[in-house]
Amino acid sequence: MGGHTADDIKKSVRTYMVVFAALAALTVLTVAASYLDLATGPTIALALLIATVKGSLVAMFFMHLIDERRAVYWILGLTVVFFIVLMLLPLGTVSDTTGVG
Amino acid sequence: MQIPYTVEERPDTGLYNAKLGVWLFLASEVMLFGALFSTYVLLRTGADAWPEGSSILNVPLATLNTMVLIASSVTMVMSWASLKLDNFPKYKLYMGLTWLLAFVFLIVKYFEYSAKFSHHLYPSTNNFLAIYFVLTGLHMLHVIGGMVVNGYLWGPGAKMWKTDPERFTNRIEIAGLYWHFVDLVWIFLFPVLYLL
């Protein structure tokens, strides 16, 4: 993220408003989707998918990750790896009772 | 002696100090909330019975709070953009709005929590409520922490705009990164606790 000109910032402001509208719509969609009569697995998958899309919009545009430096991508990449391990490792200890793994 | 790279970027990382620091801090916060989400998964998959969030929790209020926090993220980034456009009054407006929206979030949470307590629903009642109160309570503490920082940057901290405007703008940028992260956590908390 190098220097921003005034025009760059003004363009970004328009983007922020579009992202805000998208986040509002996706919030409504999240609640609406919860009323669908899906099985447990698809329900969870759909809720997490919509949340991931919303989170990505916040990260990409509000947190400016879309044009950030490589150092930040490395930090986040490592964090994702550790986060996945954090989620999966405990599940491995109870996989016999949960039917996972 | 001046601390280097408070404004100009380090040649190796391309970042100024505070931005690197905040991203590292947010990485640690991912592990903190991740551990609690992992707890939620373990508790739920190991339980014989687990209530649907909507049967106990107030979905309309939480939906309102989701919109409030998203709006506060918009006003936060607008406060930074205002400084980049050299518009200090607009910065004060947007940062003030961010703080007020955070306050609204807390008010709504107060009504939610007090409704639970008045129905004798406490963290000790069952595992669902335990993880609900821990996750949302920790998130709420992060909101309060953000309000303290943002309040300082709106008030006494704003003096730096006169003496070192670039460094002050950077402070708003990194405060924004923290604030967007708080919003991001709620974006996942809301469907997981209230809708699943």
The per-residue pLDDT for A95 is: 66
Look at A30 and B27 and tell me if their CB atoms are within 8 Å.
no
More confident residue, A87 or B86: B86
Look at B191 and A34 and tell me if their CB atoms are within 8 Å.
yes
Among residues B129, B142, B115, the alpha carbon closest in space to that of B33 is found at: B142
Is there a contact between B9 and B20 (Cβ–Cβ < 8 Å)?
no
Look at B13 and A69 and tell me if their CB atoms are within 8 Å.
yes
Look at B31 and A51 and tell me if their CB atoms are within 8 Å.
no
pTM metric for this prediction: 0.94
CA-CA distance, A30 to A46, in Å (whole number)? Answer: 8
Is there a contact between A61 and A16 (Cβ–Cβ < 8 Å)?
yes
| Per-domain boundaries in chain A | 1-68, 69-101
| Per-domain boundaries in chain B | 17-195
The contacts of residue B142 (CB under 8 Å, 6+ apart) are B29, B182, B185
What phi and psi, each to the nearest 5 degrees, are found at residue B86? 65, 30
Look at A83 and B30 and tell me if their CB atoms are within 8 Å.
yes
Mean pLDDT of B18-28: 96
Complex ipTM more than 0.95, yes or no: no
- The proportion of chain B whose per-residue pLDDT surpasses 90, expressed as a percent, equals 95
Mean pLDDT of B96-116: 98
What phi and psi, each to the nearest 5 degrees, are found at residue B8? -75, 150
Chain B residues with beta carbon closer than 8 angstroms to that of A29? none
Per DSSP, the three-state class of A2 is coil
How far off is chain B from A40, nearest CA to CA, in Å? 8
Which of A12, A72, A86 is the best substitution to test chain B (most B C-beta atoms within 10 A)? A72
Chain A residues with beta carbon closer than 8 angstroms to that of B192? 47-48, 51
CA-CA distance, B67 to B62, in Å (whole number)? Answer: 9
CATH superfamily of B17-195: Cytochrome c oxidase, subunit III, four-helix bundle (1.20.120.80)
Residue A26 carries which side chain, given as an amino acid letter? Answer: L
Is there a contact between B139 and B32 (Cβ–Cβ < 8 Å)?
no
